[in-house]
Amino acid sequence: MDKGNPATISIDTNGSQGAIIEGMVPLICIFCKYVEYIEFDLDLHLYQNHRIDLVKLPIGKGSLETRINYAIEEGRRVGINLRNLNKEAKHKLGFEYIIS
């Protein structure tokens, strides 16, 4: 993990760990525990890793772009709620690295 640049975070993307930066609203992938702070990067993650999952979302008919936007907004809601949890609760949910 590069401590010199807090925007550069090493994250295990296999769904076992995530990194949270205190004071910032994380965007959480709703299909795994991937954590991102840049919407475009979460968009790419969703497209590259979860296309099939996106198709299965219960939102009716819609393009892949609509489904990605839905997943990003849900991930933002999860991130806002996660931000309100204490460090112990975040740890229990699998977010191992809390950066202050």
Phi, psi angle pair for 57, to nearest 5°: -60, 140
Q: Evaluate whether residue 7 is within a structural domain.
A: no
pTM score of the predicted model: 0.72
Mind listing the pLDDT tens digit for each residue in 6-55?
Answer: 333 334 444 334 566 667 788 999 998 888 889 999 999 999 999 999 99
Task: Tell me the average pLDDT across 46-73.
Answer: 93
C-alpha span between 72 and 34 (Å, rounded)? 12
In a domain, 56, yes or no: yes
Does residue 10 belong to any structural domain of this protein? no
Domain-embedded: residue 5: no
pLDDT mean over 88-94: 80
Give the domain range for residue 26: 19-99
Q: How many domains, in total, are found in the chain?
A: 1
pLDDT attached to residue 18: 58
